Amino acid sequence: MTEITGIHHVTAIAGDPQQNLDFYTGVLGMRLVKRSVNQDDPGTYHLFYADAEGHPGSDLTFFPWTHLAPSRQGVGLTVEVPLTVPAGSLGYWSERLAHYGVAVGEAQPRFGEKTLEFRDPHGLELSLVESDDPRDFAPWQSSPVPEAQQIRGIHGAKAYQRELAPTARFLTEVLGLKLLAQEGGWHRFGISGAGSHFDILEVPNAPRGQWGVGSVHHVAWRVADTDAELRVRARVAAAGRRPTEIIDRFWFKSVYFMEPGGVLFELATDGPGFAVDEDPTALGEQLILPPWLEPQRAQIEAVLPPLKLAHPA
C-alpha cells in the first residue's frame, strides 16, 4: 500500500509563453487554471493547464524560459508526457492536430492502449492515449474541444535511464509503486488506476539528457495531505535522496528530490487547490502571486510579457 495516489502534475520548459498558451488552450483545449510566476524566478511565468477545476492529476504546467537552448534528450530526463483522452476520440484528435499543422502519424498500440504521438510548438514530446479508466474530471465549457473528446489529464510520464535497477528499486521500495507491465524494453511502474504510469527504458550508452526548451522539468507525485507527504519524505530521506523541506506552493505543498537516475521528482498535496485564491469561474484570467511576492507585483508585471487569452475554434 502506497501513499502516492498517482501523478499530481508534470512541469515542462516552454519557449514563447503566448505560443505556449495558444497551443494548450486553443489547440489542445485545456483550461489555463493559473497564471502565476516561477516562485524561484519571478520574472518568468508559471502557466498551469488542466481540466476546468484543476483537479490534481489533470495538470500540465510550464516555465517559459525563452533564453534556454533546446533540450537534449538522454538519460535522467523525462522524455514524453502522455495525456489521457476518452476511448474512441483519437480520430477526432488526428484531424484536429493536422488542421493546426501539427505533424501526426498513425495511432499505435502501447501497453494495449491506442496512442498518438506528436510534439508541441517548442519540441516537447506529447502523446494522447485512449483510456476510460475512471478519474476526477470537470469538463471546461468554454473549450474549443467538445466535452466528449477533452483531455482528461496526465496519463503518465516516460523516462530514459542509464540503469534500470536503482530507479526501479526506488520506485517500488521507497515510493511504493509496482512494476505493472513490460513491453518493447519499456518497464511500466505505477499504481492501478488512471494517471499513475511511469515508464522507463534502459539505454546504457545514451548521453545524459539536458534541460532546455521542450523538456520536462519535473514530475510531481500526488499525496493526500502533508501528513502523508511527511511519511513519504521520511522514506525518501532514509534512502539518501536528500529531499527538501515542505515548500508552500500555495495551491499545494511540495517536497523535491532527485530519484537515483537523476529525474527531478516532487511530492505535491491534493489541496488546497487552484480555487483558494481566485473565483473558480475566472481561473487564469489575472496574474496571481503568492502573498510573499505581492509587494513586488509592480516590478514583476513590468518584466513579464503581455499574455492574451484566446480560444480559436
Binding residues for Zn ion, rule: CB under 5 A, are: 11, 220, 266
Evaluated on CA atoms 78, 84, 90, 95, the torsion sign reads negative
Query: Could you tell me the smallest distance in angstroms from the CB atom of residue 11 to Zn ion?
Result: 5
Question: Which residue number, 102 or 159, has a Cβ lying nearer to Zn ion?
Answer: 159
Query: Could you tell me the smallest distance in angstroms from the CB atom of residue 248 to Zn ion?
Result: 13
**How many C-beta atoms lie closer than 10 Å to residue 299's C-beta?**
11
Query: Could you tell me the smallest distance in angstroms from the CB atom of residue 236 to Zn ion?
Result: 16
Question: Which residue number, 116 or 264, has a Cβ lying nearer to Zn ion?
Answer: 264
Placement of cell 502557466 in the chain: 47
Question: Which residue number, 203 or 293, has a Cβ lying nearer to Zn ion?
Answer: 293
* Secondary structure (3-state) at 222: strand
Query: Could you tell me the smallest distance in angstroms from the CB atom of residue 266 to Zn ion?
Result: 5
Rounded (5°) CA angle 80-25-193: 50
Question: Which residue number, 11 or 196, has a Cβ lying nearer to Zn ion?
Answer: 11
* Secondary structure (3-state) at 176: coil
Question: Which residue number, 116 or 220, has a Cβ lying nearer to Zn ion?
Answer: 220
Question: Which residue number, 38 or 178, has a Cβ lying nearer to Zn ion?
Answer: 38
| The three three-digit cell numbers of residue 186, written as one number | 519499456
Query: Could you tell me the smallest distance in angstroms from the CB atom of residue 268 to Zn ion?
Result: 6
Question: Do residues 14 and 28 touch, judged by C-beta distance below 8 A?
Answer: no
Question: Which residue number, 3 or 113, has a Cβ lying nearer to Zn ion?
Answer: 3
**How many C-beta atoms lie closer than 10 Å to residue 130's C-beta?**
19
Q: How far apart are CA 223 and CA 228, in angstroms?
A: 6
Question: Which residue number, 12 or 97, has a Cβ lying nearer to Zn ion?
Answer: 12
Q: How far apart are CA 213 and CA 14, in angstroms?
A: 5
CA 306 remoteness from chain centre: 24
Q: How far apart are CA 245 and CA 151, in angstroms?
A: 33
Query: Could you tell me the smallest distance in angstroms from the CB atom of residue 265 to Zn ion?
Result: 10
Q: How far apart are CA 199 and CA 146, in angstroms?
A: 30
Q: How far apart are CA 97 and CA 110, in angstroms?
A: 20
Query: Could you tell me the smallest distance in angstroms from the CB atom of residue 9 to Zn ion?
Result: 6
Query: Could you tell me the smallest distance in angstroms from the CB atom of residue 252 to Zn ion?
Result: 8
| The three three-digit cell numbers of residue 286, written as one number | 489575472
